[in-house]
Amino acid sequence: MPVGIEDMTRLDLLPFLEGGGMQAHYEGSIDKLGGNADWDWWLYQDENGEWVIFDVDGPGCIYNFVQHRYPTCEEPIFRFYFDGELEPRFSIRHSEFGKKHPFIAPLAGFFEGDDIPPAGRGPIRVVRSFVPMPFAKSCKVTSSVKLEGCDRGKGQGGWGHIIYHEYATPEGVKTFTGKEDYSALLRLWNSVGKDPKPASGCEIETVDRTLKGRQTVTLIELKGEGSIASMHLDINPFDSNRLRDLLIVMRWDDLKEPAIECPLGALFGNEIGNNRIGFLTHGQDADGKFYFYFPMPYWKSAHIELQYLSQGPDLHVKCEFALNTSSVQKYPPDMCGHLLATKYYPATPAVPGHNSIIGVAEGRGHIVSSTLTALPVGDKYVSCEGDVELYIDDSGTPQIESDGSESHACYGWGFVDPPQQNPASGYDGQGFHTYAWSQARVFMGDRIPFQKSFRFTLEAGGDNDWDMLHSGLILYYGKMSHGMLLTDTLYVGDTASEKSHNYKVGGQTWMGELSSFYEGDYDNVLFTDTGRTFNGFSEFTVAINPMNNGIHLRRRCDQKDGRMKAKVYLDGELLKERNWYFADRNPHKRWLDHELQIPPAYTYGKEKISLRIEYVQSGDTKEWNEFQYWIYSLLN
């Protein structure tokens, strides 16, 4: 499992699927009441008086950092503490993004929006970083300024987020120093429009076709085993209408359904077409040619075709494919997945009170790109205030979110001044009070793994209260088989379930029912469950698959108070890789599904395992709480 710089530079390895020992997570400024006040970003104030905005226990890697700030307000200094160190290993001012090594362009930078009429709320500076920051034991990030509010006159402004990976073990993880050699990664990110993968061993095949209205042409048909390393597509004459009325269809091997079937614009990251937008992996170059550099492995056959859905002028279509037909060892089928896409979500009216479900998928894999588009209803401008909420493996809590759709693209303050682009994200549109926008986000190092399923959703407006249309597509590498199996469930407070699991509790402080809500799409659905709290321990025995590659232990809990912490023992052995720790809190939408990764060294070959959860006091928490446990055995 490559981590950090190596992970970011080896895009040819994207088809290799994770073995379940990696999870993607988000920490940021989400409105705890579920509305649009997405600006308060702090967890607690530490003993040095600094405002902690990120705090995780165990090995991992930060891949994306974003923060919005008025330039006229007090400037924050962000400090990064690694592996329990008492002194910060790295510090950076808000104004230094894009200037201070290694946070230099294009790996890091800023976008400054205009003074937006009619409210005149700007200008706003949005700093962002894709610099990988691994850590072997833990990481804490602080701000010298309390990040809260949205009133420029009061010196406020707190919007922001961190997207990061958690690893089951620290194997291969070297903690960030800031002195690493970033030259290869910077060369890569400065070469947008060129194939970022190694070019050796490829044959070039060029195809010329004339495409008439209401017709279909085959662009390439391949038999045997290999991979398509890149695709270039030139269409003449071309205008923005072609982004929606040309349908591209990709089929791999024996898959019953097309692996990818979507309008041209959705695949290449821009459904609007006012401007030419390009990213490191795909897009449209300055000459109007489309490029696509995600590796596309196949083991029996590959077929790509283009369908002209409307009755328009004849089109001259020229394609160039780079083919690697000797990939028997390069992409072993038992270790790699196909490039797939969710079923295209066509322009669909948003339903008041509910997120638009942009894409769902079953199986295992990892997400590598998203295209999200908003269109108006009538003459009403469209909102960008809707949060992205991404649910992984049937969790009731979204693992990835955003404080507005523009923040998902690592910009902010409305889609102002389009086009905007960097190697990993960007957007097209018509300005702040826009009548359409389309954005893309590429997940390279910060790809989002799943072992069973995912559901990618988007709010319409700040509280699902905006009359608008959404469309979109999610690209991922995957297999249809599941990578995890639910092998046991413990219902805390249920007599029969506790008895069958040999459940014991010490230092119990409460038992009863809690009625509250989950964050996210169903934050208006009241849910009731029975559980316990204690300041001592709980013990129970659970069934697991003996051929497991580790387990995921998911707990439904009450996140009213932050900094929940516990030590975990497995058959009497302390889990040394991490404490079970969650630093955030929500006193309003109190339900949280939170997972702990347990490596196979503790679990492999066993049919049952005894778990002991010991409460550890941290911050203001006085007890540990538990309502339900799900035990998932990893299968790969």
Which pLDDT band, with edges at 50, 70 and 90, does 378 fall under?
A: confident
Among the residue ranges 124-128, 498-502, 515-519, the one predicted with the least confidence is 124-128
DSSP per residue over 115-148, as a string?
A: --TTTT----EEEEE---EEESSEEEEEESS-B-
Residue 115 has pLDDT above 90, yes or no: no
What is residue 147's predicted lDDT score, i.e. its pLDDT? Answer: 97
Peptide bond into 117 cis (omega under 30): no
Residue 103 has pLDDT above 70, yes or no: yes
What is residue 17's predicted lDDT score, i.e. its pLDDT? Answer: 96
Q: Return d(Cα 255, Cα 302) in angstroms, integer.
A: 11
Among the residue ranges 278-282, 358-362, 394-398, 462-466, the one predicted with the least confidence is 462-466
Residue 413 has pLDDT above 80, yes or no: no
Residue 576 has pLDDT above 60, yes or no: yes
Please, where in the chain does CATH 2.60.120.1390 lie? 5-190+342-479, 203-339
Among the residue ranges 112-121, 299-308, 430-439, the one predicted with the least confidence is 112-121
Torsion of CA 221, 222, 226, 229, to 10 degrees: -30
Mean pLDDT of the chain: 94
Q: Return d(Cα 252, Cα 231) in angstroms, integer.
A: 15
Nearest Cα residue to 56 out of 191, 198, 185, 166? 166
Token pair for residue 149? 């509010």
Which pLDDT band, with edges at 50, 70 and 90, does 368 fall under?
A: very high
| C-beta of residue 284 within 8 angstroms of C-beta of residue 168 | no
Share of the chain above pLDDT 90, in %: 89
Percentage helix, strand, coil for the chain under 3-state DSSP, each rounded to 5: 5, 45, 45
Residue written as tokens 């009241």? 526
Q: Return d(Cα 207, Cα 569) in angstroms, integer.
A: 60
For the domain spanning 484-634, the CATH number is 2.60.120.260
Nearest Cα residue to 335 out of 7, 10, 14, 3? 14
What is residue 120's predicted lDDT score, i.e. its pLDDT? Answer: 52
Distances, alpha carbon 413 to alpha carbons 114, 233, 284, 540, in Å: 9, 34, 25, 49
Q: Return d(Cα 504, Cα 149) in angstroms, integer.
A: 45
Burial class (CB in 10 A: 0-12, 13-18, 19+), 465: middle
Segment 156-166 mean pLDDT:
95
Tell me the fold of 5-190+342-479. Answer: Jelly Rolls (2.60.120)
Among the residue ranges 119-123, 177-181, 216-220, 564-568, the one predicted with the least confidence is 119-123
Residue 380 has pLDDT above 60, yes or no: yes
Residue 432 has pLDDT above 90, yes or no: no
* Per-residue model confidence as pLDDT tens digits over 175-191: 999 999 999 999 999 99
Could you say which DSSP state residue 186 is in? Answer: H
Residue type, 470: H
Residue 328 has pLDDT above 70, yes or no: no
The CATH architecture of the domain made up of 203-339 is Sandwich (2.60)
What is residue 525's predicted lDDT score, i.e. its pLDDT? Answer: 96
Segment 86-109 mean pLDDT:
97
What is residue 635's predicted lDDT score, i.e. its pLDDT? Answer: 94
| C-beta of residue 159 within 8 angstroms of C-beta of residue 68 | yes
Q: Return d(Cα 292, Cα 280) in angstroms, integer.
A: 9
What is residue 122's predicted lDDT score, i.e. its pLDDT? Answer: 66
Residue 329 has pLDDT above 60, yes or no: no
Token pair for residue 270? 């821009």
Residue 116 has pLDDT above 70, yes or no: no
What is residue 389's predicted lDDT score, i.e. its pLDDT? Answer: 97
* Per-residue model confidence as pLDDT tens digits over 441-467: 999 999 999 999 999 999 999 999 999
Q: Is 298 left (phi over 0), alpha (psi -120 to 50) or beta?
A: beta
| C-beta of residue 609 within 8 angstroms of C-beta of residue 541 | yes
Residue written as tokens 């072997």? 136
pTM above 0.85, yes or no: yes
What SS3 state is found at 407? helix
Share of the chain above pLDDT 70, in %: 97
Which residue intervals of 132-238 are DSSP H helices? 183-189
Nearest Cα residue to 423 out of 198, 130, 620? 130
Residue 248 has pLDDT above 60, yes or no: yes
